[in-house]
Amino acid sequence: MTNLLSNLRCDRNRTGTTLVVFFIVSLFFYRCSVPPADLNEIDLDAIDEQVMVLEASVKAVQFEMTMESGETGKIMPRSISENGELVLVQPGDWTSGFYPGMLWYMYELTGYDSWRDIALEYTEKLENQMYNASNHDVGFRMFCSYGNALRVTGDSSYIPILVQSAKTLISRYNGKVGCIRSWDFNTDVWQYPVIIDNMMNLELLFWATEQTGDPIYREIALRHANTTLENHFRPDYSSFHVVDYDTISGEVRGKYTHQGFSPGSVWARGQSWGLYGYTMSYRFTRDPAYLEVAEGIARYLLNHPNLPKDRIPYWDYDAPRLRREPRDASAAAIMASALYELSDYTDDGEYFRERADWIMESLSSGEYRSPDGENFGFLLDHSTGGLPQNSEIDVPLIYGDYYYLEALLRRMGKL
């Protein structure tokens, strides 16, 4: 603890630093439970202390915003800005569900009741997002937060919130297209854009049918997954990022990228979304077509000639300057989590689990793990959000930490 406090950095003001220290000390003395004995050789103490720094940093910045400008809406950590400040976002941001979700994961990993209480605090800040139909990300916002809360606590009061979230998500579905619309911007270019990322939000829909017995959610999830399988993928199992549809005919108007190098390139995080999405879809359906594509994506990525030896991909597998291009640790964390789950479904499970272990070994040591007490408490460094937009390049990203912890839980057989 002394080492943690001595390493704590806060570049804003003395008031914020005092609040950080106070919160960490308070949390330290609040520990109520004994962590599990089998840590599977994972240094959970170091992870625990680092996330304590993140929570303390969030509280400090929230306090400073309130004192300086009265700003109270930005509550969830997302990244670190170019000028070195912690970036907080409002509940409507697409990333807002990841922090509550990773706090639930911290509770499962450590057994500390304090993480459960903090997870509850942040989860409940998102309740009104069950009505936010502005984009497809209601699944990210609500299933990562309330979905994990329900899974961990069994509190049935979360069920209506999640069911309403599913209703909100399917309000963006177009039966002629056969997909849920992803975004509402760039209307001068796209008529009905669907991104590979959207596969991740189908988990909420599959769950909703299992919970309510209403088949509509599953039917839409299946139609979306099948349409995406037909139109997003190339013969080698790589994926386009954006497919635009005609809302009248349902036909494909064009295939693009938004965050990748080029329309025909292999944007790293998009490939990981696809791998994870079809692995998850197989979990709910046992459709062999979904398992086949998940295995195909996994083999394509793991054997890609441009995948570095440490298996942390560049932001795009086809980026032109390779060794000088930034990496995307978040894409690696998503891939590792998906590979652990995939290993449970295939005859080649040992192969996929071993590769997931290799990725996690790289993420857990060396340059990808933030130094203790630094980076405001983010666990991973060197992720890339949107390089073409000059946005969040070579920085920590909250969803990288979320899927890193999820992969740890899967590696330990707890998820």
Structure tokens at 271: 């490939």
pLDDT on residue 31: 53
As a whole number of Å, the end-to-end CA separation of the chain is 29
Task: Render pLDDT for 48-94 as a digit per residue (tens, 0 to 9).
Answer: 999 999 999 999 999 999 988 887 899 999 999 999 999 999 999 99
Structure tokens at 69: 């400008």
The pTM (predicted TM-score) of the whole model is 0.92
Low-confidence ranges of the chain (pLDDT < 70): 1-41
Structure tokens at 320: 């032109």
Question: Can you tell me the distance from the alpha carbon of 105 to that of 378, in angstroms, rounded to the nearest whole number?
Answer: 15
| Number of Cβ within a 10 Å radius of residue 371 | 11
Name the residues annotated as catalytic: 137, 197
pLDDT on residue 23: 55
Question: Can you tell me the distance from the alpha carbon of 192 to that of 183, in angstroms, rounded to the nearest whole number?
Answer: 8
DSSP 415: -
Question: Can you tell me the distance from the alpha carbon of 270 to that of 58, in angstroms, rounded to the nearest whole number?
Answer: 28
Structure tokens at 70: 């009265």
Question: Can you tell me the distance from the alpha carbon of 192 to that of 186, in angstroms, rounded to the nearest whole number?
Answer: 10
Contacts of 159 (CB under 8 A, 6+ apart): 150, 211
* Residues 150-188 as b or e (16 or more Cβ within 10 Å = b): beebeeeebeebbbbbbbbbbebbeeebbbbbbbeeeee
pLDDT on residue 6: 37
Question: Can you tell me the distance from the alpha carbon of 409 to that of 7, in angstroms, rounded to the nearest whole number?
Answer: 27
Residue ranges per structural domain of the chain: 2-411
Question: Can you tell me the distance from the alpha carbon of 130 to that of 148, in angstroms, rounded to the nearest whole number?
Answer: 15
Residue with tokens 């441009």: 306
Task: Render pLDDT for 30-50 as a digit per residue (tens, 0 to 9).
Answer: 454 444 333 356 789 999 999
pLDDT on residue 106: 98
Residue with tokens 């996994």: 298
The SS3 assignment for 402 reads helix
- List beta partners, residue 194: 243
Backbone angles phi, psi at 77, to 5 degrees: -75, 145
Structure tokens at 18: 């005092």
Q: Whose CA is closest to 331, among 372, 294, 359?
A: 359
DSSP assignment of 12-74, as one string? S-HHHHHHHHHHHHHHHHH--SPPPS--TT--HHHHHHHHHHHHHHHHHHHHHHHHHH---S-
Go through the chain and tell me how many residues it has. 415
- CATH value of 2-411 in 3.10.20.600, 3.40.80.10, 3.40.50.10480, 1.50.10.10: 1.50.10.10
